[in-house]
Amino acid sequence: MLADFQQALADLTASPELCMAVKIDPSLLMRRYQLTDREAGRLEGIVRHPGMACSCMVYRANRLAPLALNTPRLCKALGHDLRAVASDYWADHPQSNVHFYVEADRFCRFVRREIARGRSFGPEVGSALEIESAQVAAALRESHTEAA
Amino acid sequence: MTRPTVGLLYNPVSPLLIAQAPDLVEYLGVMPDRLWYDFGPNAQGRRFHRTLGAIDELRRCAEGRLTAGHGIGLSLPSAMPLDEAFVDAVAELAADIGFSWFSEHLSVFITPKGAVPNAQAGLGLPIAYDDEVYGIVAGKAARLRQALGCPIALENGAFFTPVPDPDMTEPQFLNRLHAEGRCETLLDLHNLYVNWRNGGETPEAYIAQLDPAAVIEIHLGGGDDFAGFYMDSHSSLTPEPVWETAFAHVAGFPNLRAITYEFQETYYEDLADGLIPELERMHELAETWAPRRRLAHAG
Ligand SMILES: [Fe+2]
Ligand SMILES: [Fe+2]
């Protein structure tokens, strides 16, 4: 069905790993989604298209945008860890939020939770998180521009 | 009909550019999604919180200019009901600013489980051009037209992976929407260039299939190369081949009302020196519309 086709395409675009898994075993699509043969064939065609790597890249860049924009010091302080942390965050929150401050606020909470669980990061991460999470929380409060 | 207007897709730095060259900007395309914070359908209390200062500034800029809305969030091809609360919010803004038409994108930005991230409408998911999707888009376009009380247009997208095995081509899909009175076409010439650069058909081949009467607005813009692909980043001035396509075809779109340049505001400093010449060239382009049209009538 069309809704599943569109969701599958969104999921594939979000995940190069899922694209790879489908390339290896196309029957995975039918197991995960309710698709007609035509829809499954279309998705297989898309996954094998050379442009799919680019779609996946742009997806990640667009998902990173609210974080880079609103928590630039935190992203910089995470350095090489950013890639892994962002991937874990997206696995935890597969749906992006169109409200950039909600998205950035969620990311700050996620990093704080990871630290509380004992994950260790570079020395600047703690202070960057403290400063920017407060800024994001304030911006989020202020984005309630009109009476409820 | 007068010649098409020339203008900008409105962004936070547009007022600066308008102050420098007020006469060169006759039209503003306005993105409602950028003028409010959307707390989502499950928000407690009010869902849309408008950026009131930015809307005041827009009202000042819109005075004496033609305006139209340009949305992302309605995602007409999505296999789910139209977001009626969103439609209401757009209708309120449309009435406030006085949109002459409203355009959306011919791609999927919302799936049943959530939003597809798009920093600047950069990546919507491609759609299958078949009867099922046509029915969804046509129905929602008609509903939107009724709610907003103005014509609706859909913009062709930039895609890296078209959906294979279609029933019709994208121009045929747009032609059918026009022929059946559902909506018009916003033809993004830079998106055609992006698709061609990434292995798709030429802009010429695409335009040859398109009903010229459907086109009410064209978009110009620029991108850049990244990782072996050409991206629709709105980071540069309009590339020369896109100008060539524009000059070759503008006179042939009898219902064209606006020629719009879109750029991402973060590149404003880099683009600054080129923006006024860009607008001047757009006026030259708009001038090519009338004489050839008169000739066509004479013939
Ligand atoms: Fe657009
Ligand atoms: Fe566009």
**Closest residue to B117, CB basis, from A7, A96, A143:** A96
**Closest residue to A96, CB basis, from B44, B115, B231:** B115
Task: Report the DSSP pairing between strands B224-226 and B229-231.
Answer: antiparallel
Residue B118 pLDDT: 64
CA distance B33 to B48: 10
Residue A112 pLDDT: 96
Q: Given an 8 Å threshold on Cβ–Cβ distance, is A96 in contact with B44? A: no
- Residue B100: give its domain's CATH number: 3.20.20.150
Residue B63 in 3-state DSSP? coil
pLDDT digits (tens, 9 = 90+) for B269-295: 999 899 999 999 999 999 999 755 545
Smallest CA–CA separation between B33 and chain A, in Å?
9
Mark the residues whose beta carbon lies below 5 A from ion ligand 2.
B 188, 219
Residue B291 pLDDT: 53
Q: Tally the domains of chain B.
A: 1
Smallest CA–CA separation between A29 and chain B, in Å?
16
Residue B79 pLDDT: 95
pLDDT digits (tens, 9 = 90+) for B58-82: 999 999 999 999 999 899 999 999 9
Two tokens, residue B102 = 């409203």
User: Would you say residue A20 has pLDDT above 90?
Assistant: yes
Residue B42 pLDDT: 87
pLDDT digits (tens, 9 = 90+) for A44-85: 999 999 999 999 988 888 899 999 999 999 999 999 999 999
CA distance B43 to B36: 14
Residue A89 pLDDT: 94
The three-state (H, E, C) secondary structure of A41-103, written as one string: HHHHHHHHCCCHHHHHHHHHHHHHHHHHHHCHHHHHHHCCHHHHHHHHHHHHCCCECCCHHHH
Residue of chain A whose Cα is closest to the Cα of B136: A2
Q: Which residues of chain B have pLDDT under 70?
A: 118-123, 291-299
Residue B6 in 3-state DSSP? strand
Using CA of residue B35, residue B37, residue B42, residue B44, what is the dihedral sign? negative
Buried b / exposed e along B165-179 (16+ C-beta atoms within 10 A): ebeebbbbbbbbbbe
Q: Rounded to the nearest 10 degrees, how much is the dihedral formed by the CA atoms of A49, A53, A56, A61?
A: -140
Domain boundaries, chain A: 2-49, 60-147
Residue B297 pLDDT: 47
pLDDT digits (tens, 9 = 90+) for B168-199: 999 999 999 999 999 999 999 999 999 999 99
Q: How far is the CA of B218 from the centre of ligand 2 (A)?
A: 8
User: Would you say residue A95 has pLDDT above 90?
Assistant: no
Range of the domain at B102: 5-298
Q: What is the DSSP string of B79-145?
A: SS---HHHHHHHHHHHHHHT-S-EEEESSB-EETTEEPP-SSS--PBP---SHHHHHHHHHHHHHHH
| B55 near A CB under 8 A | no
Percent of chain A with pLDDT over 90: 86
Two tokens, residue A10 = 């969104």
CA distance A97 to B115: 7
Two tokens, residue B122 = 């950069």
CA distance B284 to B246: 11
